[in-house]
Amino acid sequence: METQPTSSFVFVLFGGTGDLSMRKILPALYEAHRAGMLAATSKILAVARHEEDRDGYLRWVTEHVKAHVAKRGIDENAWVSFIERIEFVKIDLGNAEDFALLRDVVKDLPGIRVFYLATGPSLFVPICRALASVGLNENARIVLEKPLGYDLKSSNAINDAVGEIFAEEQIYRIDHYLGKEPVQNLLALRFGNALFEPLWRREWVESIQITIAEELGVEARGIFYDNTGALRDMVQNHLLQLLSIVAMEPPHSMDSDSVRDEKLRVLHALKPIDALEIGKVAVRGQYHSGVSRGNSVPAYATEPGVKQNSTTETFVALKVEIENWRWAGVPFFLRTGKRLADRVAEIVVNFRAVPHSALGASALRAGANRLVIRLQPNETIRLYCLAKKPGEGMNLSSVHLDLAFDQFFKEGQMEAYQRLLLDVINGRLALFVRRDEQEAAWKWVEPILNEWAAAGKPKPYAAGTWGPAAASAMLAQHDTCWLEEEN
C-alpha cells in the first residue's frame, strides 16, 4: 500500500455527528492517518449543531467513532495524533452568519479545501449556496453522497444548482462500491491480462449476475426508505455502476474521463424496458415477517415510519440487456433486497459450456465455468472449473482457484471510503460518478418507477429467504439460477 502523504488539505465534514461520519468517514480518515498517508499539516474540520464546542465533539468522537476503528485494531498513539487533527465548528445551516464563522476558521488552515456533505440531499443546495456566499467554493472540492434526487427531474435540479456554484471537475459524486478492492481488481483482471479479455464477450459468456443482498431490514430508516425503495436506493446507483464496470470497453487509459466515457457508453446501450414487457423482466417484492439468523423478524409493513398499506419495494430483480456488439444477447441479471437470506455482494460471470463433451453430461452443465467476484462480506475473486475426481473413471467435479490477495500482498487492504477520500484529496475523479452517467441511469430507471407507481402491490416474500419465487423463475427461463452458496 502506498504511504506517500497527500498534499496538505482541510477536510470540512458537514454532518459531523451523523451515522455515516461515525461508521465510515472518520474511521477511513483515521486509517489513512495511521498509514502515514495524510500530510502532517492537514486538518479535519467537523461541522454540526449537536455539540457546543471542540471538547464536546471530541468526546463524541471518542465514544462513538473509536469503537468502529477498534474493529480493525487501534494504535493508541496514532489515535491521539489523529484526534489532534480534528477541529470543530458549530453551525446552524440556516444561519448565514455561521458560514462567515466557518470561512474565518478555514482561511487560517493551509491546503486544499474539501467539503464533504454527509447530510440529506435536501441540504446539498442550501449548503453549496451558503459556501458560495462567503467565497468558499473557489478552488475547492465538494463531495455529494447519495441519494442525489428522487427522480430524473429532482436529480437535474440538484445538479443544476450545484453546477452553478462548483464546476463539474470540482464535484465528486460518491458511490462507495466503486472504491472496493475487488472492483479495482476486476479492472486489473480484464485489462492487465491477456487471459480474460478475449473471453469477455457474448461468444463465451452465457450470463452475468450482480447481487447486493442485505440481511437487515430498514431498521431506523423507515421514513426515508418508504419514500425511496430498493430501485432508487440501490439499482439506480450501485448496481448500474457495477454493471458499467463489468461491461465497459477497454479505456485508452485510466484517467478519469476515459474510464467514465466507457461507463457512459454502457448506460446509453441499455435496452429500454418496455411497459408491456416489465412483468417478464422486472420483479419487485416486499418482505413479510419471517426468521433471520434464528430470530423472528417483523414484516416491512409494521416497521416504524412505514406508511400503512405501503407499496414500496424492498426487493428488485431485473433482466437487463446491453445493445452493443460485445454483449448482444447476453442477459445481465441484477438483484438487491433487504431481509434476504445472507449479506452478500458479488458479480458472477457464467461462461458458456463446451460445445461438445466426450467427458459426460457434467461438462455441459450451465455455470460449470464461472468467475465470482465477491465484494462483501469477504473480498475475493474465485474462478470455478471442472476437474477429475480422484479414483476410477472420468468423474468430474467443480473446483476453484482463489485469488487470495491477502496472501500475495501482506499490506492490509484499503476500505472503500479510505480509497475514495484519498482520491478526492488527490484530485482523482475516475471512481466518482459524472453528471451525464447519473442522468443516463435515471433515464433508464424512470420508466420502471412509473410503471410500478401505477401497478399493484409488490410480491411478498418471507424475511430470511432469497426473495419472491418470481425472481428465480425469471432466470429459469434462461436455463440458469441465482448463485446462492455459503460464504
Q: What is the DSSP string of 239-271?
A: IHHHHHHHHPPPPSSSSHHHHHHHHHHHHHHBP
E strands within 3-67? 9-14, 43-48
Amino acid identity of 27?
P
C-alpha cell at 150: 428522487
Q: Is the sign of the CA dihedral 359, 365, 366, 367 positive or negative?
A: negative
Q: How far apart are CA 423 and CA 426, in angstroms?
A: 5
Which parts of the chain have pLDDT scores under 70? Answer: 1-4, 362-364, 366-367, 404-406, 410-412, 485-487
Give pLDDT, residue 315. 98
Give pLDDT, residue 482. 94
Q: How far apart are CA 275 and CA 448, in angstroms?
A: 8
Q: How far apart are CA 355 and CA 3, in angstroms?
A: 49
Q: Is the sign of the CA dihedral 216, 220, 222, 224 positive or negative?
A: negative
Give pLDDT, residue 485. 63
CA angle 119, 264, 159 (to 5 degrees): 35
CATH dotted code for 178-407+434-476? 3.30.360.10
Q: How far apart are CA 417 and CA 428, in angstroms?
A: 14
Inter-residue contact 183 to 415 (CB < 8 Å) = no
The answer to whether 238 is a known catalytic residue is yes
Give pLDDT, residue 1. 44
Class of domain 9-145: alpha beta
Q: How far apart are CA 238 and CA 146, in angstroms?
A: 10
Q: How far apart are CA 454 and CA 377, in angstroms?
A: 36
Give pLDDT, residue 357. 77
Q: Which residues of 59-91 are buried (b: 16+ CB within 10 A; e: fewer)?
A: ebbeeebbeebeeeeeeeebbeebbebbbbbbb
Amino acid identity of 474?
M
Q: Could you tell me the strand order of the sheet in which 315-320 lies?
A: 396-403, 380-388, 370-376, 344-351, 205-213, 332-337, 315-320, 282-288, 459-462
Q: How far apart are CA 305 and CA 224, in angstroms?
A: 8
Q: Give yes or no for a cis peptide into 447 (omega within 30° of 0).
A: no
The β-bridge relationship of strands 112-117 and 344-351 is unpaired
> Look-up: residue for cell 447486493?
212
Question: Which is the catalytic residue, given 238, 252, 268, 478?
Answer: 238
Give pLDDT, residue 418. 94
Give pLDDT, residue 120. 86
Domain boundaries, given as residue ranges, for the chain = 9-145, 178-407+434-476
Domains 9-145 and 178-407+434-476 share a fold: no
